[in-house]
Structure 1
Amino acid sequence: MTVESTAARSKQPRRSSSKRTSSPKKKAAAKKPAGDPGLVQLLTPEGERVEHPDYAIDLTADELRGLYRDMVLTRAFDAEGVTLQRQGELGLWPSLLGQEAAQVGSARAMRDDDYAFPTYREHGVAWVRGVPPENLLGMFRGVNNGGWDPNSNNFHLYTIVIGSQALHATGYAMGITKDGADSSVIAYFGDGASSQGDVAESFTFAAVYNAPVVFFCQNNQWAISEPTEKQSRVPLYRRADGFGFPGVRVDGNDVLACLAVTRAALEHTRSGQGPMLVEAYTYRMGAHTTSDDPTRYREDEERKGWEAKDPILRLRTYLENEGLADEDFFASLEEESTALGKRVREAIRTMENPDEMAMFENIYADGHALVDEERAAYAAYQASFAEEGN
């Protein structure tokens, strides 16, 4: 699967460019997308570099190519996850297709000592934080409960319970202020989770205790089958107003804007100014998970409209037009994507199956009669297959 499978690649003539991207000649005046004056954008869907008065960013060609590489490899890995689930190798897979810029941009804004609390879809953040992709697959195969030490990468285990990681992040942020650290915390959640009481409670605690936490909401427009307009009468970033801290909406398909806004938000929190809410306005181009059928609740035309805003094609167009990457770079990245796919396929198929009876252990410290009964019933069920010669 190529990195351009979700939209047709745009072809435009190249222009010469300096090594850095901050030349005034190459940047248009500050623009704001029609219909949403509050959206921060630094790279338009057409690959045009623009400026924002409050969120400046200046990246080298190497840094821009690095962001592109992160997004391409994240998408390649994600596609393998979907395929492996369809082949029966995984029990479930939540695709991030379309959300690569929000995740990679925000993750690249973090310092090594900052800490991330993800949901179950932050494969791009995991990639940037150095978590091996095989560990993510192991969890969805059922061979581990996460598979990595959170403190090794300052990236917490995936959280399946909707919204609870916002409270975990807030508590952690309150704790590091007691330790005198100047690091910050990011809590990732979706538009659906923004309606959960856990998220509202975390907003309250973070505001009252001035906790250094960035609440990063990836608004991908759909909470499974529920559209955002049925969850909130105001844009999600404005919910921060009621809790007494700032909120901002960023183009979630613009990796440069996501990087700039998150970097500023992290600095805001670590400088003692309290929490901040970032709403990355993006779109889930795939299903909620592989058990979901999005054709039952949304039209194909909606997705096609968002494909034109594809975060990877947007940055590629910019790199090509500015002469910041050549065909050798893109060809090499395709080879790297293919190698990554092969690596994760081999890893998943050589993972040992977990002990089937392990799920009954460590439920109660002193045991429980009902658990013992369930264990015995399940053991008898498994034994029945052996008796039948299966």
Structure 2
Amino acid sequence: MTRDPAHFLPSAEPVALIDASGIPTGSRQAELPAPADLLRAYAGLVIGRRFNEQADALARQGRLAVYPSSYGQEACQVAAAQVLAPEDWLFPTYRDAVAVIARGVDPAATLTLFRGDWHSGYDPHRHRVAPQATPLATQLTQAVGVAHAARLRGEPTVVLALCGDGATSEGDFAEALNFAAVFAAPVVFFVQNNQYAISVPLSRQSAAPSLAHKGVGFGMPSERVDGNDVAALLAVVGAAVRRARAGEGPQLIEAHTYRVQAHTNADDPGRYRSPEEEATWAARDPLTRLAAYLRGAGLLDDDAQVRFDTEAERVATALRTGSAERRTPDPTRLFASVYSVPTPQLEEQAALVLDELSREVEV
């Protein structure tokens, strides 16, 4: 592997293939994905947007304890899932529900975490999707472990680890990148830079030229990409996955995007950002951008749009139906999937919970 510093530096400007008006940029940094891939991504964007709208409504109705919306970031989510092969792994954060459903997980099960129910709500091994991580950056070291193990076994597995800009300030982020680079683990670190760590702007988080530049210090090639341009995302993230699968090691990618809605339904973004800033980013919406390109290229018509909208509404209906079902959480399930063979400490904790539950019944 080359040690030329220039090899590790990201582009001076984020890679973009389709501009905010839906017009190809003519960039030679990457090739425009095939029409079929763009249509598949568009279908995912339509579903992702409707999923965010419905989940946000459920949270406001009190049927979810909380919902961290990815409205406006759906292009990152959809591209992350689409470039992976069935044998690959996705390691998501709490804001990556759209990526999780794009990977094939049942939409209602994806929201289990936000109802305050047990664990992740789905089988990680079946879908090759790790539980959505709430603590910042902890999933990154776990992702590197899975990637390193796959490499040792000679498997063609690639791991895509998602995180936000706030996670890049955590120690786990540095540890994960360092280990991955030293051992050439087949992992892609995908930072969705949505400009804020809750209310803290990026300028108060890092003094680096960009978050992508952080990869240079670890000897890892990095890239910057327009996170609202799904075409550029498919090209850049897809290329990183292919390199990792070919044994060329990890890569750090920073996607420039924006969290349109609040951090969660408990947040008031009006306290820390301006309407002008929000309007600027609203004009860069990934959904309308790709729709404009597809219609201009003759790849999307009204009939196709109706089909995409119908499927998205089916997902929303399933979410409403699933959230209306009354569930009685079973506290003992908290201990069911922690270790394949329970440790003595875990068994002791389970016994304490059972004892407490039996006392409540007696009272």
Normalising by structure 2, report the TM-score: 0.89
Unaligned runs of 5+ residues in structure 1 are 1-35, 384-390
Amino acid at match of 2:50: A
Residues 146-157 of structure 1 mapped to structure 2, 5 A cutoff: 146-157=120-131
Work out which of the residue numbers 270, 277, 290 in structure 1 matches 2:265. 290
**SS at 2:253's partner residue?**
strand
Amino acid at match of 2:249: G
Report how many aligned residue pairs link the two structures: 346
Cα deviation per residue 1:269-303 (whole Å; 9 max; x = unaligned)?
A: 22222210000110000111111111111111111
Deviation at 1:339, TM superposition (A): 2.5
The yes-or-no answer on 1:269 pairing with 2:240 is no
Pair 1:191–1:378, CA change in 2 (3 A)? farther
Does the aligned pair in 1 maintain the 2:220–2:251 contact within 8 Å? yes
Cα deviation per residue 1:73-126 (whole Å; 9 max; x = unaligned)?
A: 011111111111111111111100010111112221111211111111112211
Does the aligned pair in 2 maintain the 1:138–1:348 contact within 8 Å? no
Work out which of the residue numbers 189, 204, 214 in structure 2 matches 1:230. 204
The yes-or-no answer on 1:303 pairing with 2:284 is no
Deviation at 1:371, TM superposition (A): 5.1
Tell me which residue corresponds to 1:24: none
Residues 1-390 of structure 1 mapped to structure 2, 5 A cutoff: 37-60=12-35, 62-234=36-208, 235-355=210-330, 364-367=345-348, 375=356, 379=360
d(CA) in 2 for partners of 1:323 and 1:369?
Answer: 60
d(CA) in 1 for partners of 2:105 and 2:285?
Answer: 25
Amino acid at match of 2:88: D
Pair 1:357–1:291, CA change in 2 (3 A)? farther
Amino acid at match of 1:278: I
Provide the aligned C-alpha RMSD in A.
2.4
Cα deviation per residue 1:38-91 (whole Å; 9 max; x = unaligned)?
A: 21000100101133333213412x332221110110111111111111111111
Pair 1:231–1:331, CA change in 2 (3 A)? same
**SS at 1:162's partner residue?**
coil
Cα deviation per residue 1:236-268 (whole Å; 9 max; x = unaligned)?
A: 000000101111000000000000001111122
Normalising by structure 1, report the TM-score: 0.83
**SS at 1:116's partner residue?**
strand
Identical positions, percent: 38
Does the aligned pair in 2 maintain the 1:218–1:281 contact within 8 Å? yes
d(CA) in 2 for partners of 1:215 and 1:311?
Answer: 21
Pair 1:272–1:68, CA change in 2 (3 A)? same
Does the aligned pair in 2 maintain the 1:55–1:264 contact within 8 Å? no
d(CA) in 2 for partners of 1:315 and 1:182?
Answer: 32
Tell me which residue corresponds to 1:388: none
Deviation at 1:359, TM superposition (A): 6.1
Pair 1:155–1:376, CA change in 2 (3 A)? closer
**SS at 1:278's partner residue?**
strand
d(CA) in 1 for partners of 2:353 and 2:312?
Answer: 47
d(CA) in 1 for partners of 2:136 and 2:358?
Answer: 31
Does the aligned pair in 2 maintain the 1:116–1:186 contact within 8 Å? yes
Give the structure with higher Rg (CA): 1
d(CA) in 2 for partners of 1:268 and 1:372?
Answer: 48
**SS at 1:272's partner residue?**
coil
d(CA) in 2 for partners of 1:115 and 1:360?
Answer: 24
d(CA) in 2 for partners of 1:369 and 1:353?
Answer: 18
Unaligned runs of 5+ residues in structure 2 are 1-10, 337-341
Tell me which residue corresponds to 2:3: none
d(CA) in 2 for partners of 1:334 and 1:269?
Answer: 35
Does the aligned pair in 1 maintain the 2:33–2:235 contact within 8 Å? no
